[in-house]
Amino acid sequence: MSLLVTGGAGFIGSNFVLDWIATTGEAVVNLDALTYAGNLRNLASLQGDARHVFVQGDICDRALIDRLLAEHRPRAIVHFAAESHVDRSIHGPGAFVRTNVEGTFALLEAARAHWSGLGGAEKDAFRFHHVSTDEVYGSLAPEAPAFTETHAYEPNSPYSASKAASDHLVRAWHHTYGLPVVTTNCSNNYGPYHFPEKLIPLMIVNALAGKPLPVYGDGRQIRDWLYVTDHCSAIRAVLERGRLGETYNIGGWNEQANIDIVRLVCALLDELQPDPAGPYQRLITYVTDRPGHDRRYAIDARKIERELGWRPAETFETGIRKTVEWYLAHTDWVREVQSGSYRDWVAQNYAARTPGSA
């Protein structure tokens, strides 16, 4: 028995692969293109482990997917592979349409052909688990109820629009062809192995380097934050017990404003690794907001709790402390991921933004 995991060298995918093998002992065939955010170093602990088969490849490569399905006959596909950074989608939307839409289409067609050829219990047990985002629902007003699974899709960035399109494809392949799918829409993840372009790792890495901590606009954008291992446990629950064709929202019940997160990261660093130059908050720099920046996301995760008995184990306070401690203990990992392409990206994204005040 095995899973085919796409994007399993990225942040959430690598955490899932590590968690899955540690928790279940079941083998994983890990397909990842190893673009800038894919990092085999995340999976170093599995080197030489026969339960982890890594394949470098593109989810748009239908022939490759067909071969992997025929060779390994996985009982499920867990589809993480995606371009996922909003700012990158603004600068270059084409890659997001290709990976998130065309890639999902290729996987669905390969999965449909494979599933159609199965028989009996093997066919009944097969699942296609599509991992998506809360950003497909758009932006919430400050007092609006949190997103439920029936909330209308209102994506506002090239990234969220491409993920919304992939969600619709997955739904259509279930209703038209009967493909046994489940979809999860998660809130913002954080934790170990997070590529340092996203808010929390960027703040940690920049603070330790004495660099400015760039905060968009007034910093009052609100997100629900989900510790990545909680996300992994939720995916296991949905894959094992979720109803076919259903969507489950996965959230951490942790709404936080960006500026409050930055200040909390600074306070933890002040405690755990003080800077002789002074408190890290001195590095906070307000910069021009990004275009179309959604003001608030919030996930209502009552459905997955009600149907599958899942709730996050971590509070934001426990999860963010674990995250800061992990980055302090893994400075070698940070140095390795700060490649030339990463530095070029940071320069491209932030160099043109003008400092301001909130």
State how many domains the chain has.
1
User: For residue 188, what are the CA distances in angstroms to 147, 228, 242, 255, 298?
Assistant: 13, 9, 21, 10, 10
13 located within any domain: yes
Please give the positions annotated as active site. Answer: 134-135, 159
In angstroms, rounded to a whole number, what is the distance separating the alpha carbons of residues 331 and 273? 13
Task: Give the position of tokens 């949190």.
Answer: 146
105 located within any domain: yes
pLDDT attached to residue 357? 42
In angstroms, rounded to a whole number, what is the distance separating the alpha carbons of residues 81 and 16? 12
Question: What pTM does this model have?
Answer: 0.93
pLDDT attached to residue 129? 98
Domain extent at residue 297: 2-190+225-254+293-317
Write the pLDDT tens digit of every residue in 83-135: 987 888 999 999 999 999 999 999 999 999 999 999 999 999 999 999 999 99
- How much helix, strand and coil, in percent to the nearest 5, is found in the chain? 50, 15, 35
- Joined tokens for residue 312: 């996050």
Burial class from Cβ neighbours inside 10 Å (0-12, 13-18, 19+) for residue 159 reads: buried
Query: Cα 276 from chain centroid?
Result: 35
348 located within any domain: no
- Helix, strand or coil, per DSSP, at residue 256: strand
Write the pLDDT tens digit of every residue in 291-334: 878 899 999 999 999 999 999 999 999 999 999 999 999 999 99
69 touches 114 (CB < 8 A): yes
305 located within any domain: yes
323 located within any domain: no
pLDDT attached to residue 338? 82
Write the pLDDT tens digit of every residue in 17-61: 999 999 999 999 999 999 878 889 999 999 999 999 999 999 999
208 located within any domain: no
11 located within any domain: yes
Query: Cα 28 from chain centroid?
Result: 18
269 located within any domain: no
Amino acid letter for position 309: G
Model confidence at 346, pLDDT cuts 50, 70, 90, reads low
Query: What does residue 292 show for φ and ψ, rounded to 5 degrees?
Result: 65, 30
Residue 148's CATH number = 3.40.50.720
Burial class from Cβ neighbours inside 10 Å (0-12, 13-18, 19+) for residue 145 reads: exposed
